[in-house]
C-alpha cells in the first residue's frame, strides 16, 4: 500500500503533501477535526483525528504539543524534500519533515517530530530536542542545543555554542547570543524575554 495519511489539512499540510509526492507517495489523504475543510492541496479530507488509519501517517500540525500528542502510539514517517542538503552523518528522528532548501550539516542530531522549514539551516553538531520547529529562513550556527517543543521563528539566528531550553518561542528575526534557560517568548536583537531581561 502506497497511502500516506496526513493529519492536519492546512498550509503546512499542503507543503508536506508536496514533499510526500516527491518521496513516491501516490495515494495521499488528509484528516482534520475542522469539519468544514473538505480538501487540502487537491487531496481529500476523509475524516478527523479519530478516524482509523491504514498505511503510513504524518502529523502536519504546527503546534508542538498537539503534534506530540497526535504522534503517540503511531508509527509516523519522516519526509525529506529531495532539494534539502543533509550531511551523511546527520541523524533525523521519526516524524520529522525537512523542507526544500534546508541544510543540515555534519553530526547534527534532529529529534522526533521536528520541522526543519524552507531554506533554514542547522549547522554542525547541533542537537534539537523532539518536536522543535526551525522556521522559514532561520539559522542555527554550530553546536546549538534546543530543548523539546522549542520554536525558532522565521529569519531568526542563533549564534554558535548556544543552549536554549525547551518550550521556548524565539520570535521572527530574533538574534540569540546568550543561552536561554527559562521557557518563554523571546524577541529582538539581541534576544530579550517578553516581560523579562536580556538573554
Cβ partners under 8 Å of residue 140, min gap 6 = 121, 122, 123, 126, 128, 134, 146, 152, 158
Q: Is 41 within 8 Å of 66 (Cβ atoms)?
A: no
Q: Which residues pair with 151 in a beta bridge?
A: 133, 169
Helix (H) or strand (E) holding 69: helix 64-71
How far is it, in rounded angstroms, from Cα 173 to Cα 155?
Answer: 5
Active site amino acids: 124
Q: Is 157 within 8 Å of 138 (Cβ atoms)?
A: yes
Amino acid at each position: 500500500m502506497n497511502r500516506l495519511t496526513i493529519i492536519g489539512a492546512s498550509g503546512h499540510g499542503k507543503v508536506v503533501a508536496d514533499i510526500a509526492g516527491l518521496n513516491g507517495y501516490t495515494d495521499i489523504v488528509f484528516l482534520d477535526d475542522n469539519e468544514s475543510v473538505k480538501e487540502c492541496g487537491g487531496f481529500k479530507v476523509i475524516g478527523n483525528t479519530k478516524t482509523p488509519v491504514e498505511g503510513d501517517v504524518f502529523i502536519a500540525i504546527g503546534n508542538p504539543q498537539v503534534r506530540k500528542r497526535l504522534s503517540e502510539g503511531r508509527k509516523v514517517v519522516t519526509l525529506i524534500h529531495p532539494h534539502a542538503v543533509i550531511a551523511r552523518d546527520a541523524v533525523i528522528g521519526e516524524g520529522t519533515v525537512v523542507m526544500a532548501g534546508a541544510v543540515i550539516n555534519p553530526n547534527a542530531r534532529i529529534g522526533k517530530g521536528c520541522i526543519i522549514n524552507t531554506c533554514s539551516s542547522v549547522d554542525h553538531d547541533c542537537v534539537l530536542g523532539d518536536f522543535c520547529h526551525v522556521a522559514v529562513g532561520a539559522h542555527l550556527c554550530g553546536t546549538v542545543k534546543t530543548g523539546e517543543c522549542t520554536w525558532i521563528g522565521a529569519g531568526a539566528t542563533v549564534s554558535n555554542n548556544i543552549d536554549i531550553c525547551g518550550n521556548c518561542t524565539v520570535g521572527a528575526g530574533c538574534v540569540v547570543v546568550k543561552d536561554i534557560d527559562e521557557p518563554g517568548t523571546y524577541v529582538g536583537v539581541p534576544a530579550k524575554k517578553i516581560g523579562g531581561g536580556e538573554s
